[in-house]
C-alpha cells in the first residue's frame, strides 16, 4: 500500500494540514501486515469521527480495502470483534446447542424446525395457559401446518414478564418533553382499556379498528384488544377516507379508536373527521389539545370511555386465533387482509432476539405505525424481549426526532431507507449524541449503499441489519446478524428458521431472480380474510426439489460470500416510503382526472440503489392543453387527498399510448425497464 499518497488525498478532500497530518501519522504507524478488518477497525474507531466529511471516511475505507477480493465477498464496513460475537444472543444459542459456526446454526434451525422453535419459545419465555402437545404438526399440509397443537395462551401475557419497575415505553409528543411508563403502569393502563372495551360490549372474536399514530395510548389499545380476545384492525394514519373505508368494510369492524388531530411538523391534521366520514359505527376519540371537535351522538371521548378498573384477566385463546388484521396490496387494487395470530408474535420477537440482538433492558426505536407491520412488530419485539420502545409522536424527519433518539438513549434504531437521505441532507444526526446506539436496522425499501455508509459513520461504525420480510411473514425472511460482517445495503443470511430459493422465470435456480419461500415457518400466513390464500401464494408454482414453493415477489441477487442485495419487486406492486401499494390503486385515482385518458404507475429503483421512485406515465385526452408540470401537480393532489400524501410522484412521462400485451394488459415491466 502506498501510504505516502494518503496525505495529499486528504488535503484534496478538504481537511486542513493539521488534521490531515494527524490522520496520516496514525495510518503510517499501523503495522503493514494487519488484516483488513483490524486495520479498518483502528482507523474507523480511533482516527475518524462523524465530524470528518463522509468523503474522507469513504476514501480511507477504499484505501484499506483496495486489494480486497470482491470475488469472495463484497467489502464490509463493519466486522464483529470477538466480544461482539461472544456477547450476542446468537452466540448464546450456539453455545447452548454446542454448535461451532453460524452456518451450522442456520442449517440446524431449518433441518430441526420443531427443536429450534421449542428452544426459542423457551428463551422468549412465552406464557401458556395450557401447554402445547406438539410444536409443529404438518401432517395434513406444510402450507397450513398447526403450530403449538392443543396449547392455550394469550400472547399479551408474554408481553409483561419484565420487572414491574422496568421501563416499557419512552414517549414524546412533537414539541413536548420525554416521559416514560413502567411495565406495571402500562399493564394497568392496558387493563383499564380492556375493561372499557368490554363495557362497550366488545367480545372475543369481534373486530376493533385503530387509526392512530404510534403513541402510548395506541399501544395500550392494541394490547387491550388482544387481551380480551378481540381482533385489531390496524389502519395507517396517513390513509385517505376511501382507503380507510375499504379496510374497515373488509374486516367488518364493530368499533374504532382514533384521535382528534395529528400534529406533524407544527401542522394540525384532522383525523377524527376523516374516520367518521369513512365509518358510521361508534368511534372513541382521544383529544390531543384544547380544540373542540363536534362528536356524533354515538361517539365517545377517551376520558368518558376509559374505565377506572385496572384489573383484567386475559382471555384464553388458541395459538391460531386471529389477533390482528393488517393490509398489504398486491398487484390488484384491493388490499389483502392478512391475519396475524397469537403465534405470529413469536416470529417477530424471535427475529428481534436473534438478528437484532435485542438485550433485556435495552431501548428500541422504529418510526412506524400500527397500520404497517413494523408497528405490531415493535410492540412484540420490545415487550416480549423485556426491553422498551421509544415512541416519537411527530415526523421522524425533524431535528427534534434526532434529539429524541439521543435523549431516549436508544440502543437499536430502525428506519425506512429514505429517512437517511433526509437526515443526511439536513445534517440532523451530527447535531446530537447517538452514541448509545448499538445496532441499526433498515427495512421497507431497498437501501442505498452510500446512504447506509454515511449512516454508519454517524454512529461510530455500528452494524446495520438489513431486514426484509412481509406482513404475511410476521417478520423477515432475509436479514443480517451481529456475528457476521456488515456490508452496506446487503443482507448476510436468511432468517433463522426460514428457507428461501431464488428462481428465474423458468423456475430454475439463479443468482438474480424472484424469491420463493419454502414452508413451513412460524409467522407464515395460512389464510387471507378477503382472498383465496392458496391462489395468491401457491397457485401455478412447480415444485422445487420436491418442495412446495411459496410466491413472495421480491427480486433478489445473491452476491459472492452468500451476501444478498434486494432489487425491489419482481411483480407490479410497489413499496413507497415503506408502504406497499398496488399500481391499480394509484391509477384508479389518476384516471378520474378529466385530462387523463389512461395512466400507468411504476416503481423504478435508482441506478445507484435505494428506495424506489414513483414514476407515472399518462396518456392525456387530445383536447387538454395542460403542461406536464400542471398535470403532475393535479395528480399529486389527487393522490394526497384520496390515497396517501406519502406517495410522491418523482417523474411524469406524457406518452401517446401505453404498451400492452396481446390480451390488452398494460406492460408495466416494459415501462420500468425502459425508464431513463
Among the residue ranges 263-267, 468-472, 498-502, the one predicted with the least confidence is: 263-267
Going by pLDDT thresholds of 50, 70 and 90, the confidence category of residue 676 is confident
3-state secondary structure of 169: strand
- Condensed to tens digits (0 to 9), the pLDDT of residues 237-271 reads 988 899 999 999 999 999 999 999 998 878 888 99
Res. 2: pLDDT tops 60: no
- Asked whether the beta carbons of 169 and 216 are under 8 A apart, the reply is yes
Res. 376: pLDDT tops 70: yes
Res. 328: pLDDT tops 90: no
Place of cell 428452544: 119
* Dist CA 568 CA 173 (whole Å): 34
Give the orientation angle of helix 89-96 with respect to helix 102-111, to 10 degrees: 70
Going by pLDDT thresholds of 50, 70 and 90, the confidence category of residue 662 is low
In this predicted structure, what is the pLDDT of residue 302? 96
* Dist CA 365 CA 165 (whole Å): 20
Going by pLDDT thresholds of 50, 70 and 90, the confidence category of residue 445 is confident
Q: In 10 A of CB 80, how many CB atoms? A: 20
Backbone phi, psi, residue 36, to 5°: -50, -45
* Dist CA 368 CA 578 (whole Å): 9
In this predicted structure, what is the pLDDT of residue 32? 84
- Condensed to tens digits (0 to 9), the pLDDT of residues 299-312 reads 999 999 999 999 99
In this predicted structure, what is the pLDDT of residue 324? 98
Going by pLDDT thresholds of 50, 70 and 90, the confidence category of residue 22 is very high
5: exposed, middle or buried (C-beta count within 10 Å: 0-12, 13-18, 19+)? Answer: exposed
Res. 81: pLDDT tops 90: yes
Residues 180-202, mean pLDDT to the nearest whole number? 98
All three cell numbers of 5, joined, read 499518497
From residue 420, how far is each of 415, 440, 456, 586 by CA, in Å?
Answer: 8, 12, 11, 26
In this predicted structure, what is the pLDDT of residue 616? 95
Going by pLDDT thresholds of 50, 70 and 90, the confidence category of residue 122 is very high
Res. 96: pLDDT tops 80: yes
Residues 332-354, mean pLDDT to the nearest whole number? 93
- Asked whether the beta carbons of 222 and 244 are under 8 A apart, the reply is no
- Condensed to tens digits (0 to 9), the pLDDT of residues 513-527 reads 999 999 999 999 999
Q: Which element (helix H / strand E) includes 399?
A: helix 399-407
Amino acid at each position: 500500500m502506498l501510504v505516502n499518497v494518503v496525505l495529499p488525498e486528504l488535503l484534496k478532500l478538504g481537511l486542513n494540514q493539521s488534521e490531515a497530518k494527524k490522520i496520516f501519522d496514525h495510518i503510517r504507524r499501523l503495522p503493514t501486515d494487519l488484516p483488513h478488518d483490524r486495520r479498518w477497525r483502528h482507523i474507523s474507531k480511533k482516527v475518524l469521527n462523524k465530524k470528518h466529511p463522509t468523503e474522507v471516511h469513504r476514501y480511507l475505507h477504499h484505501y484499506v480495502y483496495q486489494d480486497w477480493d470482491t470475488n469472495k465477498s463484497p467489502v464490509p464496513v463493519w466486522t464483529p470483534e470477538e466480544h461482539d460475537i461472544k456477547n450476542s444472543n446468537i452466540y448464546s444459542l450456539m453455545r447452548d446447542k454446542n454448535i461451532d459456526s453460524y452456518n451450522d446454526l442456520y442449517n440446524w434451525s431449518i433441518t430441526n424446525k420443531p427443536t429450534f422453535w421449542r428452544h426459542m419459545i423457551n428463551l422468549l419465555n412465552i406464557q401458556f395457559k395450557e401447554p402445547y402437545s406438539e410444536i409443529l404438526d404438518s401432517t395434513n399440509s406444510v402450507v397450513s401446518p398447526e403450530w403449538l397443537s392443543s396449547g392455550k395462551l394469550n400472547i399479551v401475557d408474554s408481553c409483561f414478564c419484565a420487572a414491574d419497575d422496568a421501563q416499557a415505553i419512552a414517549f414524546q409528543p412533537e414539541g413536548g418533553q420525554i416521559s416514560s411508563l413502567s411495565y406495571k403502569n402500562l399493564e394497568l393502563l392496558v387493563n383499564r382499556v380492556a375493561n372499557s372495551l368490554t363495557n362497550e360490549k366488545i367480545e372475543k372474536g369481534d373486530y376493533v379498528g385503530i387509526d392512530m399514530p404510534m403513541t402510548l395510548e395506541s399501544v395500550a389499545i392494541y394490547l387491550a384488544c388482544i387481551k380480551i380476545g378481540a381482533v385489531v384492525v390496524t389502519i395507517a394514519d396517513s390513509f385517505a377516507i376511501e382507503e380507510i373505508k375499504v379496510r374497515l368494510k373488509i374486516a367488518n369492524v364493530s368499533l374504532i379508536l382514533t384521535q382528534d388531530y395529528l400534529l406533524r411538523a407544527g401542522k394540525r391534521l384532522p383525523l377524527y373527521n376523516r374516520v367518521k366520514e369513512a365509518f358510521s359505527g361508534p368511534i372513541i376519540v382521544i383529544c390531543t389539545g384544547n380544540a373542540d371537535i363536534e362528536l356524533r351522538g354515538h361517539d365517545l371521548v377517551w376520558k368518558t370511555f376509559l374505565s377506572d378498573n385496572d384489573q383484567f384477566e386475559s382471555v384464553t385463546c388458541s395459538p391460531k386465533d386471529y389477533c390482528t388484521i393488517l393490509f398489504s396490496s398486491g398487484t390488484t387494487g384491493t388490499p389483502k387482509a392478512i391475519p396475524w395470530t397469537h403465534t405470529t408474535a413469536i416470529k417477530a420477537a424471535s427475529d428481534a432476539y436473534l438478528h437484532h440482538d435485542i438485550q433485556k433492558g435495552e431501548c428500541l426505536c422504529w418510526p412506524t405505525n400500527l397500520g404497517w407491520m413494523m408497528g405490531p412488530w415493535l410492540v412484540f419485539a420490545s415487550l416480549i424481549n423485556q426491553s422498551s420502545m421509544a415512541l416519537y409522536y411527530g415526523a421522524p424527519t425533524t431535528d427534534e426526532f434526532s434529539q429524541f433518539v439521543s435523549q431516549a438513549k436508544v440502543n437499536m434504531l430502525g428506519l425506512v431507507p429514505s429517512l437517511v437521505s433526509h437526515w443526511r441532507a439536513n445534517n440532523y444526526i451530527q447535531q446530537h449524541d447517538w452514541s448509545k446506539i448499538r445496532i441499526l436496522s433498515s427495512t421497507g425499501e431497498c437501501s442505498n449503499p452510500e446512504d447506509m455508509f454515511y449512516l454508519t459513520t454517524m454512529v461510530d461504525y455500528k452494524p446495520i441489519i438489513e431486514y426484509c420480510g412481509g406482513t404475511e411473514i410476521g417478520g423477515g425472511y432475509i436479514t443480517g446478524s451481529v456475528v457476521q460482517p456488515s456490508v452496506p445495503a446487503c443482507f448476510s443470511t436468511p432468517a433463522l428458521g426460514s428457507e428461501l430459493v431464488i428462481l428465474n422465470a423458468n423456475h430454475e435456480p439463479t443468482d438474480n431472480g424472484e424469491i420463493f419461500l419454502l414452508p413451513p415457518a412460524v409467522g407464515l400466513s395460512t389464510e387471507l380474510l378477503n382472498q383465496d390464500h392458496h391462489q395468491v401464494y401457491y397457485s401455478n408454482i412447480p415444485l422445487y426439489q420436491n418442495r412446495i414453493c411459496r410466491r413472495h415477489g421480491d427480486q433478489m441477487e445473491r452476491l459472492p460470500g452468500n451476501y444478498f442485495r434486494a432489487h425491489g419487486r419482481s411483480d407490479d406492486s410497489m413499496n413507497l416510503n415503506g408502504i406497499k401499494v398496488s399500481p391499480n390503486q394509484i391509477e384508479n385515482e389518476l384516471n378520474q382526472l378529466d385530462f387523463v385518458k389512461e395512466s400507468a404507475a411504476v416503481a423504478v429503483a435508482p441506478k445507484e440503489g435505494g428506495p424506489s421512485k414513483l414514476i407515472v406515465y399518462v396518456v392525456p385526452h387530445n383536447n387538454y392543453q395542460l403542461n406536464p408540470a400542471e398535470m403532475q401537480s393535479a395528480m399529486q393532489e389527487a393522490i394526497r387527498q384520496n390515497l396517501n400524501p406519502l406517495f410522491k410522484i418523482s417523474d411524469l412521462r406524457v406518452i401517446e399510448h401505453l404498451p400492452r400485451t396481446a390480451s390488452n394488459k398494460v406492460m408495466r415491466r416494459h415501462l420500468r425497464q425502459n425508464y431513463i
